[in-house]
Amino acid sequence: MKKIVFALLILSITCLVYAEGDYRGGNGTLIKKETVGDKTIEIRKYERSNFYCEIPAPDYTDFDSTLYDDYLKKNKIGNLETEKTIIISFYEICFVTDTKDKQKGELWIKLSDGKNTGWICEKQTSNPYGDDEYSYLESIKSGAETYHVRKYSYGVEWWKGYDHRCSQVDNITVRDKPGEDSKIVAKIPTATSDHIYFNSVAITEDKSWVKIEYKKGKYGWVDSSCVFNREIGPRFHNPDIVILLPFISMSI
């Protein structure tokens, strides 16, 4: 009986860890999750050093450059300099939301500009790691390459003439694995279409291959040069896009 209880306990812990997403100890790894009053607080690792950026002047953005000592106490300790190149180091992120509405909330970022270390706030934004976004799924050996795969649950589309890098003019080739040497499982004709939409479920870390649902219940990999994220902005979305949105990057 004790063995059964112990086994169930281990299984429960394993399921809990899996449910939180696997980030291999890197950015996105959950540090702490708690409820304080009517707020749900989720703190995750986010480390990035020597990020050169230029904070826009207040007249050109809604971003508040105020530095606070804490995401709950909110005591002001300084401001990031605007319209000047500065070097920032990042340490953690904290998503604070109402327990009744967990879709939108405040994203707090702990950083240092070399003078002060504190938290800044992005209000009314989405959780960059919500639903375990961009968590590690698996590594796939294909030909001579090993591809590291991340969760990527977005709509993507093929659009006629969007990108000259896509050589698949008449058909989109779908493969069983990422990589040109993998087996072809389908060819999607494009000659009579201007746009073709897909649901994606995974992407390789180098963003060269995207796993799509090419037919109901059937999945395969396509060359990412032939599709792009439906949302306006960068070709493919990841948590960095949300976190670094207030900053005008000069070098990453």
Q: Which residue has the tokens 């050093």?
A: 49
Going by C-alpha positions, the residue among 188, 187, 197, 189 that lies closest to residue 159 is 197
Contact status, residue 43 vs residue 33, Cβ threshold 8 Å: yes
pLDDT reported for residue 6: 40
- The model's pTM is 0.82
pLDDT reported for residue 83: 86
Going by C-alpha positions, the residue among 238, 25, 242, 26 that lies closest to residue 133 is 238
Contact status, residue 76 vs residue 118, Cβ threshold 8 Å: no
**Neighbour count for residue 199 (Cβ, 10 Å):** 13
Q: Where are the domains of the chain?
A: 2-128+240-251, 155-229
**Residue 195 to residue 162: CA distance in whole angstroms:** 10
Q: What is the pLDDT along the chain (252 residues), one digit of tens a residue?
A: 544 434 433 334 333 444 579 999 999 999 999 999 889 999 999 999 999 998 877 776 677 889 999 998 899 999 999 888 999 999 999 999 987 766 678 999 999 999 999 999 988 788 999 989 999 999 999 999 999 999 999 999 998 766 555 665 688 999 999 999 999 999 999 888 888 999 999 999 999 999 999 999 999 999 998 898 876 567 888 999 889 887 865 544
Q: What is the 3-state secondary structure (H, E, C) of 52-90?
A: EEEECCHHHCCCCCEEECCCCCCCEEEECCECCEEEEEE
| Superfamily designation of domain 155-229 | SH3 Domains (2.30.30.40)
Contact status, residue 246 vs residue 132, Cβ threshold 8 Å: no
